[in-house]
């Protein structure tokens, strides 16, 4: 059994992403995994990394709890929509504020220049988008996935990093959405 952290990155509690995060977490709990959940929209923190990495900015209590949950987990699941080929601003602020040097990576003065602090953990990104997957790949080289997988999660040491892409959301039928919820719940059961 695994320790799983599910992060709901959608700013709307009534969203389909919120339902997906709930389905995954419920499946993981039913599968005997230990599950912690965070909804970024419910957290109280300043999403702006004032001063970048040059000036210390203390973590608010909700971010301290999130940091401890990330360190605790063996498998991280992020559920989010893809907006403008990236995550919503609130989730981006959460990532910027939380995965700082000392949490996600440490920067070194020489090669290899970074120490990945979250090695030994796996991750899955479950994301929705209105456009067809082929449009995202051909038109934007799937920038969302490249950024989440390579520039963020692998950069911090998560491996393997997998995805579940639910495309064509605008035209998805209710039956399709219900099927996706069942599939995501099954992923949770497996802890994958």
Is 90 exceeded by the pLDDT of residue 159?
A: yes
Q: What is the arithmetic mean of pLDDT over 182-189?
A: 95
- Determine the pLDDT at residue 67: 98
Look at residue 139 and tell me whether its pLDDT is greater than 70: no
User: SS3 string of the chain?
Assistant: CCEEEEEECCCCCCCHHHHHHHHHHHHHHHCCCEEEEEEHHHCCCCCCCCCCCCCCCCCCHHHHHHHHHHHHCCEEEEEEECECCECCHHHHHHHHHHCCECCCEEECCCCCCEEECCCCCEEEEEEECCCCHHHHHHHHCCHHHHHHHHHHHHHHCCCCEEEEEECCHHHCCHHHHHHHHHHHHHHHHHCC
Give 37-75 pLDDT, tens digit per residue.
999 999 999 999 998 888 889 999 999 999 999 999 999
* This prediction's pTM: 0.94
């Amino acid at each position: 059994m695994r320790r799983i952290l599910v992060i709901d990155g959608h700013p709307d509690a009534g969203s389909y992403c919120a339902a997906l995060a709930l389905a995954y977490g419920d499946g993981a709990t039913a599968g005997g995994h230990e599950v912690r959940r965070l909804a970024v929209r419910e957290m109280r923190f300043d999403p702006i990394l004032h001063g970048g990495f040059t000036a210390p900015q203390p973590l608010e209590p909700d971010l301290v709890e999130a940091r401890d949950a990330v360190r605790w987990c063996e498998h991280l699941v992020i559920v989010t929509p893809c907006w403008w080929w990236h995550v919503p601003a609130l989730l981006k602020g959460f990532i910027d504020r939380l995965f700082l040097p000392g949490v996600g990576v440490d920067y070194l003065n020489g090669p290899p220049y970074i120490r990945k602090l979250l090695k030994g953990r796996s991750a899955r990104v479950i994301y929705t988008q209105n456009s067809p997957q082929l449009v995202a790949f051909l038109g934007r080289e799937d920038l969302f996935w490249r950024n989440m997988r390579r520039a963020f999660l692998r950069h911090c040491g998560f491996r393997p990093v997998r995805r579940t892409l639910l495309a064509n959301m605008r035209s998805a039928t209710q039956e399709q959405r219900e099927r996706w919820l069942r599939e995501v719940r099954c992923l949770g059961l497996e802890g994958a």
